[in-house]
Amino acid sequence: MSLGFRHLWRLLHTNEGRKLIRYALVSVISALTSLVVLTIVYGALRLWTEVYSSLFANVVAGVPSYLLNRQWVWGKTGRSHVWREVFPFWTASLIGIGFAWLTSSEAHRLADAHHLHHVARTVLVDGANIAAFGVLWLVKFLFLNRVFAEIAEVEIGVDA
């Protein structure tokens, strides 16, 4: 077994490693939710343009993402604290959605420039959306991990 693989194996058996795995699984669930909603509202129903469909799909996917991250990844129960939990989560999410908005706008521009038909446009928009969130998921994990760790320290009375 290589040294890197052993290090990764040991990491995955720590509390932080398990948290990272759960976070990655929530990200997969969120990405699939967004992809399905985007494909339905843009690809099948043709409700809005690529940009508005992408925005809608990502906001819809944010709801289960918040709930699963809060409960399963960071082990929080009870009422959410608006300023310490909801606001930081949605701030990070809106930054990601803004990035997805930019990539879907670029996908729209490319699709128009290359005169793509609707199925190809849908694939391009889905790919742009996946790429945008693929780039940002680790940054968001690190940010939210720090936010929820600080909340836990405050709740148990540990100075940061």
**What ranges do the domains of the chain cover?**
3-156
pLDDT score of 148 more than 80: no
Q: Computed from CA positions of residues 136, 98, 126, 109, in that sequence, does the dihedral angle turn out positive or negative?
A: negative
Q: Determine the Cα–Cα distance for residues 150 and 74; give it in Å rounded to an integer.
A: 11
pLDDT digits (tens, 9 = 90+) for 79-93: 988 888 889 888 888
Q: What is the pLDDT of residue 17?
A: 83
Q: How confident is the model at residue 19 (pLDDT cuts 50, 70, 90)?
A: confident
120 by DSSP, 3-state: which?
A: helix
Q: Determine the Cα–Cα distance for residues 130 and 28; give it in Å rounded to an integer.
A: 10
Long-range contacts of 21-29 (CB under 8 A, 24+ apart): 22/72, 22/73, 23/69, 23/73, 23/141, 23/145, 24/137, 26/65, 26/68, 26/69, 26/72, 26/73, 27/65, 27/133, 27/137, 27/141, 29/64, 29/65, 29/68
Q: How far is CA 76 from CA 56, 151, 156, in A?
A: 27, 10, 13
Q: Determine the Cα–Cα distance for residues 70 and 85; give it in Å rounded to an integer.
A: 8
pLDDT digits (tens, 9 = 90+) for 107-140: 889 999 999 999 999 889 888 878 887 777 767 7
Q: Please say whether the beta carbons of 26 and 69 come within 8 A.
A: yes
Task: Of 96, 59, 84, 83, give the one whose Cα is nearest residue 74.
Answer: 84
Q: What is the pLDDT of residue 158?
A: 47
Q: What is the pLDDT of residue 155?
A: 53
- Give the DSSP letter of residue 115: T
| List of residues 6+ apart from 25 with CB closer than 8 A | none
Q: Is the pTM of this model over 0.85?
A: no
pLDDT digits (tens, 9 = 90+) for 39-72: 999 999 999 988 899 889 989 999 999 999 999 9
